[in-house]
Amino acid sequence: MIFGLVHPLLDISTTVDQHYLDRFGLKANDGILAQEKHRELYDELLNGSRFDVKKIPGGATQNALRVAQWYLRERHATTIVGCVGDDKVGQDMKELLDREGCRTELMVAEGANTGTCAVLVSAGANRSMVTRLDAANLYKHSHLISDKVWSIVQESSFFYVSSFMLNCSCDTITTIGDYAVQENKCFMMNLSAPYLSSLFKDAMQTVLPYCDIVVGNSDEALALAENFEFNVTELYEVVKMLADLPKHNKQRKRIVMITQQELPVIVYSDGEIVEYPVIPISSEDIVDTNSAGDAFVGGFLASYALEKPLKDCVQNGIEAAHMILQVSGCTLKLRD
């Protein structure tokens, strides 16, 4: 079973024109945190009838777990833990995740709104994303160590967290990490965004020693190298130095995986770097690139949890990313 600590977000996607983007000061292909001036935007999307709105569970870690669940098929093969508000958005997301087979153990923050991401699709398949974290940033360590949730931790064999959680739940991450080391269970973290290794450098330095697997993209890896003063800029060297950082669980050698969009995935394991080519795809067939990295992780997780060879796990991740590139958002077909 895969246990994931996430920022639970509900993606609210619709098609708009340039005038609508201009009205809220948004760029056609961008991602920002919501400001006060975007309150009306959310009100129109959630409560109005002007737009044909599509609601999909979102957030990078949650998407990865949804993809893993889709591959594994067995109901509740994945568990999603995080914080939502006591509102209809949170209820809708929980129902959608349940329909996909994921188990959810979500802390409910009274009086808070569930985190959402407005995804505004415009000409040329551009996407402007406006994220409102709200309750997602309110997760508490006490929820993790409650009897019900901790029993799920103990049942789980694999733990996956996002660096986004360093902002509010570093103690939660280290508690999971301590347990993973004690029981020799696999612990994996996503670097998640280039700025995190600067903004939360101390927290990341605390958590990285727990990591048996580190995944990220090339921008995130190079940003970490700069912020951690590796004094190298060549990506292969960055990967090696990241793998050689101090590690608590000596029974597992660290694996580092770095994606590079259309370039091969770089994987460092057992002192060796291997490149895995991605599946070619024409620009006409690409609908949305935003969830491809999440899908890669999900495909990898599913195979790794089944103890398949590393090369097969990476290949499944590549195939998952290829699949998600051809749909809007992280949209998964429901299994029979």
Q: Are 108 and 81 in contact (CB under 8 A)?
A: no
pTM over 0.85: yes
- What residue type is 262 in one-letter code? E
Whether 312 is a known active-site residue: answer: no
For 141-190, what is each residue's pLDDT tens digit?
Answer: 999 999 999 999 999 999 999 898 998 889 999 999 999 999 999 999 99
- pLDDT-based confidence at residue 303 (cuts at 50, 70, 90): very high
Q: Above pLDDT 90, what percent of the chain? A: 69
CA distance 223 to 261: 16
For 283-297, what is each residue's pLDDT tens digit?
Answer: 888 887 778 899 999
Q: For residues 311 and 35, which has the higher predicted lDDT (pLDDT)? A: 311
Handedness of CA 83, 335, 192, 250 (dihedral sign): positive
Any idea which of 82-86, 89-93, 261-265, 305-309 has the lowest mean pLDDT? 89-93
Flag whether pLDDT at 336 surpasses 80. Answer: no
CA distance 19 to 190: 36
**From residue 84, how far is each of 75, 143, 308, 331 by CA, in Å?**
22, 12, 34, 21
CA distance 247 to 309: 23
Q: Which of 11, 87, 134, 294 is catalytic?
A: 294
Q: Are 151 and 57 in contact (CB under 8 A)?
A: no
Tokens of 69: 């669940």
For 211-246, what is each residue's pLDDT tens digit?
Answer: 999 999 999 999 999 999 999 989 999 999 999 999
